[in-house]
Amino acid sequence: MDLVSTALPVGMGMVMLGLGLGLTVGDFARIAHRPRAVLAALLTQLLVLPAVCVGLIYLFGLSPILAVGMMLLAASPGGPIANLYSHLFGGDVALNVSLTAINSVLAIVTMPVIYNFAVLHYAAGDGALGLQFGKAVEVFAIVLVPVAIGMFIRQRRATIARRLDRPVRITSLALVVVLIVAALVQNWEILADNFGHLAGATATFGAVNLALGYSLPRLVSVVHAQAVACSFEIGLHNAVMAIVIARTVIGSEQMALPPAVYTVIQLPLALVFGLVLMKMAATPHATPRAVERPTPIGERP
């Protein structure tokens, strides 16, 4: 196994540990106070996005292995970076924290289900790609165990958790950026051959994610700040999780290319979308009186 594949789980573990350091049991309980926003976000994440992804796969004519990689990306939950974007652009950060927590737990079940569906549909002849029970256990270990450790530290040693939070987040972000760049360089020839299709598919997928993440909650009368939170939670997938599963659990470098290209494209795209949301919020009709004050990062309501 190459250095990138070996180091990626470490980077992923640090990302999820950092997420756990910022979570409490109350973050899971808090979703009961925002049922409409949470339900809208979860239904969009679990049902609408995979359907959108299937359509884009056909539209851009992706090969079976890249199609499975796209579905793996669609199945990945929102990432911790969604909290930062939500904070910058007036979202309800407490809702982001709750959604990230519940989505990360649900991913233990939903990612293997959606992935196995994609393999059966797009690569039925390749039985080696199936995510069997043993590999599903690996997904559990990669995703949930570091989060549980972080939450345990926060519960027992809150002061230590606060001190560790920033350095863990910064270190994990830097490590992940380096590893993603290394993965892209390592697969440059494959990427060059498929970049046109992948860039178009991932950029379209990312833009549709952000738009649906905001508009669908608004259709069911979710207030602006919560819709902004849903938009970034749905629009900024934890692509690192998809890359780790593709490379280290499944053992496919090509399958990791869609989430890697998505990461490069989606962060600036989400920045532009956030500026559009800010402009919308500045107009009198865009922000109803019921809008809640966003909760700053680090605070608990």
What span, in angstroms and rounded, lies between the C-alpha atoms of 131 and 94? Answer: 33
Class of domain 3-278: mainly alpha
Residue 173 contacts residue 249 (beta carbons within 8 Å)? no
Model pLDDT for residues 160-208, shown as the tens digit of each residue: 777 777 777 677 667 666 666 766 676 666 667 767 778 899 999 999 9
What's the pLDDT band for 103 if we cut at 50, 70, 90? confident
How high is the pLDDT of residue 218? 93
pTM, to two decimals: 0.73
Tell me the residue type at 7.
A
What span, in angstroms and rounded, lies between the C-alpha atoms of 19 and 31? Answer: 17
Residue 232 contacts residue 87 (beta carbons within 8 Å)? no
Residue 5 contacts residue 247 (beta carbons within 8 Å)? yes
| Residues with Cβ within 8 Å of residue 264, at least 6 apart in sequence | 180, 184
Domain layout of the chain by residue ranges:
3-278
How high is the pLDDT of residue 20? 74
For tokens 């049902």, the residue is 47
